[in-house]
Amino acid sequence: MKTIFLFLILSALSVAQETKNYDKLYYSSVGILAGTQALDIYSSVGKYEANPIAQGQNQVFTTKRGVLIKSAFMLTVIGVEALILHKKPHWKKELAWFNIGGAIVTGSVAGYNFRNPRAAQ
């Protein structure tokens, strides 16, 4: 998993060096953020959840509520970025690095979740 995550980050960095028009970097960073969010959701299913909002019965992550909460958070971030870029399109570079930072944090959480045992059913 670390290798896949490192590959995604290095891919975004190589795209950034290819162009001064930061469109590719920004859209790549959104893809990386979505990918790590999906990885986080996958790694959380059936395991104990620390976030009380995403917990179901017995503090276990549920696909119904947990997926909705985690997906809504990511879509909100992307929506706010779209509003920002509508007014200030020259901020793509900064928002791309913000997305990559968020992907690093989300990927770290997913890595932590993969090491946790499944909850007893």
Predicted pLDDT at 37: 92
- Adjacent-strand bridge partners of 48: 60
Q: What is the band of 53 on the pLDDT scale with cuts at 50, 70, 90?
A: confident
| Mean pLDDT, range 34-60, rounded to an integer | 84
Q: Which of 103, 119, 97 is nearest to 47 (CA)?
A: 119
Question: What is the spatial distance between Cα 54 and Cα 110, in angstroms, rounded to a whole number?
Answer: 15
Environment class of 45 (CB within 10 Å of its CB; exposed 0-12, middle 13-18, buried 19+): middle
DSSP state of 1: -
Predicted pLDDT at 117: 80
**Percent of the chain whose pLDDT exceeds 90:** 34
- Contact, 62 vs 55, CB < 8 A? yes
